[in-house]
A = this chain, B = another copy of it.
Amino acid sequence: MAVNLAPPRPEDAHPVRGVRLGVAEAGIRKTNRKDLLLFALAENARVAGVFTQNRFCAAPVQVAKEHLAAGMPVRGLLVNTGNANAGTGEDGLRRARAGCSEAARLIGCDPMQMLPFSTGVIMEVLPVDRIIRGLPACVADLHENNWASAAEAIMTTDTIAKASSRRIELGGKPVTLTGIAKGAGMIRPDMATMLAFVACDAAVTQSALQGLVVEAARLSFNRITIDGDTSTNDAFMLIATGAAGSPTIDGPGHPHFARLRDGLIEVSQRLAQAIVRDGEGATKFITVQVEQGRDQVECDRVAYAIAHSPLVKTAFFASDPNLGRILAAVGNAGIADLDVRRVELYLDDVLVARDGGRAASYGEEEGKRVMKKNEITVRVVLARGKAVTTVWTCDLSHDYVTINADYRT
């Protein structure tokens, strides 16, 4: 029951020259579902990424970072669902590497040029034999026009596949940006969310690409939360194939940098918001905007205190304007010298609280009217400075409990 989110349309998944995708049903956890995805990249493609900050980061995350650090051009990405290969120790690393080796052999590259990604249950042994048996079907399926199918193959508790695409022009050449993502739960990305892959056919140097992926993550996947839990497997990868023939972008000073960055941020934000719209059990999409903070850190603290409060989230689920809970969350954000008499709270355009309490103009009926909507903006004005932040989140419903209580059954 995702909030205002439809399955990808053809225009959400334009092919990107230089990126072929192949999908298979490998039976990793369940049968009869797409659970294995292989990206095969053109020879000159560059890849940059950001990964989870969780200290129990999964084996594939460790291997992917190691392979990226080795500096050989990446030629493939291997993604499985159904098993996270996290909390699996040395054995997990061996299994992640075994999958890479076989995929590399099949597409004809070095195993170090293959990056592994996994999502699913934690602390269970990865059935890498099934992955290896499934790989030939992936290879047979490799095609540039396979993004929608790839978006399906990376779903776990997602109810809707997520893809986003945009076409821009750089130096007279049409450039395509297309991305896919999966989310649903254990979502409070610290660098990026598990899993998002965005590719473009622009030409970008490695260092510029790394700068772009960090900035896009900061403004998209790092601005969402569903349940405050950072996954062991988060990864956001950005691919640039150069196949569009557009001029090589070598850094923020390049005349085309801003246009590519804006396109990338737009695609990434759409994917990040899609993850929240399809958050486990989500019935509402909530934008939390904190303004006039002293700095970004305190704005983020307030925004996440609201976005993580189970009491605020259940009030949204119930469409109950029990808005004192939002004030309580603001008071909990750990800003020791916050003067609550200067704080203003708005629900969409309705002023709810000021001068330390309910605004004289506020009526419960107005609160009810806004709370009934399925997209709501909470705006908190701190009146302490000029910093601003935006975080996207969802409500906490019975279905969240049901989904997570029954996840493994």
Contacts and interface: CB of A to CB of B under 8 A. Distances in A.
Interface stretch (A130-138, A199-207, A270-278, A315-323): A315-323
A195 to B, nearest CB: 16
A87 B356 contact: yes
A227 B311 contact: yes
Contacts of A355: 89-90
Contacts of A333: 55
A313 to B, nearest CB: 9
Interface in A30-49: none
Interface stretch (A21-29, A110-118, A169-177, A228-236): A228-236
A139 interface: no
A133 B91 CA distance: 71
Nearest to A85: B357
Given A123-B357, A311-B186, A320-B408, A331 B401 contact: no
A324 interface: yes
A354 to B, nearest CB: 9
A232 B341 CA distance: 15
Interface residues of A, number: 67
A328 interface: yes
B317 A401 contact: yes
A341 B323 CA distance: 44
A315 B92 contact: no
Contact of A328 (B232, B323, B330, B356): B232
Contacts of A123: 323-324, 327, 353, 357-358
A402 B396 CA distance: 11
A67 interface: no
Nearest to A190: B332
Nearest to A232: B328
State the oligomeric state as a number of copies: 2
Contacts of A310: 227-229, 310, 396, 400, 404
Given A229-B310, A341-B89, A122 B327 contact: yes
A121 interface: yes
Nearest to A230: B332
A407 B121 contact: no
Nearest to A332: B230
A36 to B, nearest CB: 21
Contacts of A84: 324
Contacts of A322: 121-122, 407-408
Contacts of A311: 185-186, 227, 229, 404
B320 A87 contact: no
A140 interface: no
A340 interface: yes
Nearest to A323: B123
A389 to B, nearest CB: 18
Given A320-B407, A331-B56, A309 B229 contact: yes
Contacts of A309: 227-229
Nearest to A356: B89
A150 to B, nearest CB: 26
B229 A332 contact: yes
Contact of A398 (B54, B330, B402): B402
| A-B complex: 9 closest residue pairs judged by Cβ atoms | A122-B324, A56-B331, A89-B357, A123-B324, A318-B405, A314-B404, A54-B331, A89-B356, A55-B331
16 contacts: A55-B332, A55-B333, A89-B341, A89-B355, A89-B357, A121-B322, A122-B324, A122-B328, A123-B353, A227-B310, A227-B311, A232-B327, A314-B405, A318-B406, A320-B407, A320-B409
Interface of A: 54-57, 84, 86-92, 121-125, 185-186, 227-232, 308-311, 314-315, 317-318, 320, 322-325, 327-333, 335-336, 338, 340-341, 353, 355-358, 396-398, 400-402, 404-409
